Amino acid sequence: MQKTCKQCEIKFEIDQLDLDFYKKINVPVPTLCSECRLKRRQIFRNDRVFYNRKCDLSGKQFISTYEPNRGYKVYHPDEWYSDKWDAMVYGRDFDFNKPFFEQFDALMHAVPRLGIDIVNCENSYYCNFCGDDKNCYLDIAGEGNEDCYFNLFVKHSKNVVDCTFVYNSTLCCECINCYDCYNVQHSTYCENSSDCLFCFDLKGCRNCLFSSGLRNKEYFIFNKQHSKEEYGKYLENLQLGSYVQREKLKAGWDKFKRENAIFRGNYFLNCENVSGDDIKNSKNTFHSFNVLNCEDCKYLYDVLDAKDCQDLNYSLYKPELSYELISTLNMVKSAFSLESHYCNEVYYCDMVNNSKNLFGCIGLNHKQYCILNKQYSREEYEKLVPKIIEKMRLDGEWGEFFPFDISPFAYSETVAQEYFSLKVERTKSEKIYQGPEFQLPDNIKDLPDDLVKQILICEKSEKPYRVIEAELKFYKRMNIPVPHLSPDQRHLERMSLRNPRKLFDRKCSNCGQQIESTFTANRPEKVYCEQCYLKVVY
């Protein structure tokens, strides 16, 4: 079946597997293409734009993702998870004279919202979507981390700074897609490796510099073997404590990598019948990116352990038979919901936990058979929900995720801005910060004792930022110069190093076979099909 997206007006295909899935979960075929559906979900997630505001219950000042004057009740996590309030108090009857989304929007403005999404964290209040973190700062979507700062999707790691998708690692900086690593810097796609700088696609390696595609090697520089003494002398002469020198090395490494490294058309590991990129241990999973242990799925983004699901973002811990979810854990037979955890058969819900058989609810915990936060008997619930669905169907709402205009966040605050950027030009005369500016010395060894009190200006965005004490200790320990870019700008720089989450037709640079890859046909890198890649690397 071919349809035209009502948002962007491009044509998109719905195949038989899609139709079977929609029938199984009893929803109509989508009216938006997969990319517009993705963008619509992303508008409901704010990862890293924070505001200093008061808790509307206790008056306590705290950091929140909700702007103070946007018309929502917002609670500090300690208050939101407490028994000091009851979300059922805000229950109301469904009004068949009004659209469902209008009623849900009113409920969103009535029910207190979780000001920042952290659970069981210690000294980590300046984080978001994190659990079991300790002494972390601006750690986003982290889990089980300690002393980690300015990261995205870093898990079970310690002393990791400015990294994206790094797992089970220690003392790493400026890394992307690295696993089980120790003391690795400025590197991507490294596994079980240690003491490596400026490297790409290493496994089981130690003490390597400016190298790619190596397996179980040690003391390699530009992919050539050296003695331990030669390697040590070369490393010492790099002057890594100098910011100017390190920036030159980064630029040189980027050029060398583009011209010499072999890139996989797709990163698949232990997979069968999949498409997308960064997929591990998965089967029959299509157009998906950064997924692990998934089966019979489609359109997944940053998802773990899913089975028989479509259109999920940031959904972990065995989601099953679910559709159009974002920021969820362990959702089963559920759809059109966000920031909800450990639920079964919930539809159009927000911030509900440990519940089942809910429709249009917000903030409930351990509840069943509720509609718009009002309690019903099982018989009443099962009689009323089909009537609401039919009303939504007539209004063109059933089968659609929440519309853009009821998101509590501005577009520029959300992850949609990161993946589908809407640029806002700033005039040259417009200066963000008015005040004294501190000039950083070039070398980490020359930093003044009071640096943490100084206001620094980002060299690209011109936004002010500061270095926190724990961060500075890390840089001194690792002989890393203090960044001249703000944390947000550094995040954007890492984002720019990752390929887009789109698939393009191109040819293998070695054998000419037609492949589907996140590398466009005109990219200069040597991009190999899986067969050619394995022959070269192994």
- What tokens does 220 get? 């390699």
Report the alpha-carbon distance of residue 183 to residue 312 in Å, rounded. 33
- Whether 349 maps to a domain, the answer reads no
- Cα distances (angstroms) measured from residue 80 to each of 107, 356, 481: 16, 20, 40
Residue 516: pLDDT band with limits 50, 70, 90? very high
Residue range of the domain that includes 531:
504-537
Model pLDDT for residues 84-139, shown as the tens digit of each residue: 999 999 999 999 999 999 999 999 999 999 999 999 999 999 999 999 999 999 99
Least confident range from 21-25, 307-311, 383-387, 426-430: namely 426-430
Helix boundaries (H) for 26-99: 34-42, 77-80
pLDDT per residue as tens digits for the range 422-436 = 876 654 445 666 667
Task: Give the separation between CA 392 and CA 26, rounded to whole angstroms.
Answer: 14
* Residue 317: closest CA among 287, 293, 298, 339: 293
pLDDT band at 146; cut points 50, 70, 90: very high
Q: Are 296 and 283 in contact (CB under 8 A)?
A: yes
Confirm whether 178 is domain-assigned: no
Assigned domain for 509 exists:
yes
The rounded mean pLDDT for the chain is 96
**What pLDDT sits at residue 16?**
94
Residue 381: in which H helix or E strand, if any? helix 378-394
Residue 527 lies in a domain: yes
With 0-12 / 13-18 / 19 or more C-beta atoms within 10 angstroms meaning exposed / middle / buried, residue 384 is middle
Distance CA 280, CA 325 (A): 21
Among the listed residues 506, 2, 505, 21, the one whose alpha carbon sits nearest the alpha carbon of residue 284: 21
pLDDT at 509 over 80: yes
Per-residue pLDDT, averaged over 3-20, amounts to 96
Confidence at residue 538, expressed as pLDDT on a 0 to 100 scale: 86
pLDDT band at 437 (very low <50, low <70, confident <90, very high): confident
Least confident stretch, 258-267, 334-343, 435-444, 524-533 = 435-444
Contact 175, 184 (CB under 8 A): yes
pLDDT score for 449: 82
Residue whose tokens read 């490796």: 193
Give the Cβ contact number of residue 495 at 10 Å. Answer: 14
**pLDDT by residue (tens digit) across 471-487?**
999 999 999 999 999 99
The answer as to whether 524 is a domain residue is yes
* Per-residue pLDDT tens over the stretch 385-415: 999 999 999 999 999 999 999 999 999 999 9
pLDDT over threshold 60, residue 345: yes
What digits encode the pLDDT tens for the residues 239-258?
A: 999 999 999 999 999 999 99
Residue 294: inside a domain:
no
Asked, for residue 516, whether it belongs to a domain, the answer is yes
- The closest alpha carbon to 32, from 389, 396, 437, belongs to 396
**pLDDT > 90 fraction of the chain, expressed in percent and rounded:** 96
Residues 138 and 38: their CA atoms lie apart, in Å, by 25
| Domain count for the chain | 1
Whether 530 is covered by a domain: the verdict is yes
